[in-house]
């Protein structure tokens, strides 16, 4: 069993196509198909069901895929460690971010990193805090920027607190609240809200605050992108609570301080067991020591 065969299997599984997988792996399709067929003969099981219209994993393929990914990641880590031992940073750095990260200018940090370590493949994934923590644990990403209620801590990962911020009301320019100097949650509870999806950390911050205030609200629009949220607000379809340090990134909206505003903490997290050379180098650019103690409650 060869690493190249595993790469081909992963590529087909991720693209659902032998043609696209071959393009990704920079080989002709016949060579890729031949290697996968050879691997299937070695394993004594078919990994893919092939029809004229679709390609999908068999039960054996589903069982094989996680192990193949782990082997590829281990091989890549080994190569990166060897390169680091001779003073060269290689490998992969995939960074996860929440849509409203504000404590760090992530694009600028990535630009600095690329300038110093041009041989590292950089990737970026946007998601909810809980999803990003799981991806850190699974090894899909190396570091992530989270935003959590002050009562929550990211479990199972190493963490560094980056900053705290109060949420602020965001309304349309013509909204009656736009001329107010301050508002409270009771007054806001009568408004229709635009918010992040139920169950996400971004949503939990506001849900917990309204529950603590003893009032309820209507969330009519659940979205994942903050810029799209701002467009809905601008059209007068709803209001939102967003971090005050992030809101300056939005246009065509008005902000109003909230007297009893909920707060959030931004965290930087990474794998508590394995810190790749590229991840360690990125943490150093951010001024973070990778030996920071893991979060409590583990």
213 pLDDT higher than 70: yes
Assessment of whether the complete model's pTM goes beyond 0.75: no
Interatomic CA distance for residues 277 and 272, integer angstroms: 14
CA-CA distance, 178 to 166, in Å (whole number)?
A: 18
For position 297, what pLDDT does the model report?
Answer: 40
**For the residues 269-281, what does the mean pLDDT come to?**
89
Alpha helices, H only, 106-264: 106-116, 129-138, 185-188, 201-212, 226-234
The pLDDT score that the predictor gives to residue 88 is 65
* CA atoms in the 13 A half-sphere facing the CB of 181: 0
Question: Which phi and psi (to 5°) does residue 285 adopt?
Answer: -60, -35
| CB distance 240 to 167 below 8 Å | no
298 has a pLDDT exceeding 60:
no
Where residue 290 falls among pLDDT bands split at 50, 70, 90? low
Per-residue confidence (pLDDT) for residue 211, from 0 to 100: 92
Q: Please report the pLDDT score of residue 296 as a whole number.
A: 43
| Mean of per-residue pLDDT scores for the chain | 88
Using the predicted structure, report yes or no on whether residue 292 has a pLDDT greater than 50: no
Rounded Cα distance, 63 and 77, in Å: 23
What residue ranges in the chain does DSSP mark as E strands?
48-50, 55-57, 91-97, 120-126, 143-149, 158-171, 192-195, 218-222, 240-243, 254-256, 263-270
Would the pLDDT of 85 be above 80? Answer: no
Per-residue pLDDT at 233:
97
Query: Within 10 Å of residue 82's Cβ, how many Cβ atoms?
Result: 12
Are residues 149 and 243 in contact, defined by beta-carbon separation less than 8 angstroms?
A: no
Range name among 99-103, 109-113, 135-139, 226-230 with the lowest pLDDT average: 135-139
Query: Of 63, 55, 77, which Cα lies nearest the Cα of 11?
Result: 55
Residue 181 confidence (pLDDT) above 90: yes
Judge residue 141's burial from the number of C-beta atoms within 10 Å of its C-beta, 0-12 exposed, 13-18 middle, 19 or more buried. Answer: buried
d(CA 55, CA 21): 11
Residue 294 pLDDT greater than 90, yes or no: no
Percent of the chain with pLDDT over 70: 92
Would you say residue 30 has pLDDT above 80?
A: yes
More confident residue, 2 or 112: 112
pLDDT digits (tens, 9 = 90+) for 57-66: 899 988 888 8
Rounded distance between C-alpha atoms, residue 70 and residue 10, angstroms: 11
| Cβ neighbours, 10 Å, residue 30 | 10
Instruction: Please say if the pLDDT value at position 83 is more than 50.
Output: yes
Confidence of residue 293 (pLDDT cuts 50, 70, 90): very low
Q: What pLDDT band is residue 191 in, cutting at 50, 70 and 90?
A: very high
Q: Given this model, what pLDDT does residue 136 score?
A: 92
Return the pLDDT at 265.
95
Could you tell me the pLDDT band of residue 97, with boundaries at 50, 70 and 90?
very high
Report the helix count and the strand count for the chain, using DSSP H and E. 10, 11
145-166: pLDDT as tens digits:
999 998 888 999 999 999 999 9
Residue 264 has pLDDT above 60, yes or no: yes
Rounded Cα distance between 95 and 42, Å, is 36
């Amino acid at each position: 069993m060869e690493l190249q065969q595993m790469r081909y299997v992963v590529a087909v599984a991720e693209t659902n196509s032998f043609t696209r997988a071959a393009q990704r792996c920079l080989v002709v399709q016949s060579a890729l198909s031949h290697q996968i067929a050879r691997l299937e003969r070695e394993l004594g099981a078919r990994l893919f069901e092939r029809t004229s219209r679709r390609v999908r994993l068999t039960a054996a393929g589903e069982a094989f895929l996680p192990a193949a990914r782990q082997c590829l990641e281990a091989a890549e880590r080994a190569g990166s460690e060897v390169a680091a031992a001779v003073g060269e940073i290689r490998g992969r750095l995939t960074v996860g971010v929440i849509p409203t990260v504000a404590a760090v200018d992530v694009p600028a940090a990535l630009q600095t990193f690329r300038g110093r370590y041009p041989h590292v493949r950089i990737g970026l994934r946007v998601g909810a805090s809980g999803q990003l923590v799981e991806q850190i644990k699974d090894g899909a990403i190396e570091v992530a920027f989270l935003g959590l209620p002050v009562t929550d801590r990211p479990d199972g990962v190493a963490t560094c607190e980056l900053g705290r911020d109060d949420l602020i009301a965001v309304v349309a320019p013509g909204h009656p609240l736009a001329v107010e100097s301050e508002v409270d949650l009771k007054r806001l509870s009568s408004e229709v809200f635009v918010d992040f999806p139920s169950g996400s950390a971004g949503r939990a911050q506001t849900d917990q605050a309204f529950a603590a205030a003893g009032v309820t609200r209507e969330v009519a629009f659940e979205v994942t992108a903050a810029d799209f949220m701002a467009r809905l607000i601008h059209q007068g379809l709803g209001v939102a609570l967003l971090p005050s340090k992030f809101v300056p990134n939005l246009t065509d909206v008005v902000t109003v301080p909230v007297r009893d505003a909920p707060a959030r903490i931004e965290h930087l997290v990474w794998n508590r067991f394995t810190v790749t050379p590229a991840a360690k180098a990125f943490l150093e650019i951010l001024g973070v020591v990778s030996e920071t103690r893991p979060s409590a409650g583990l």
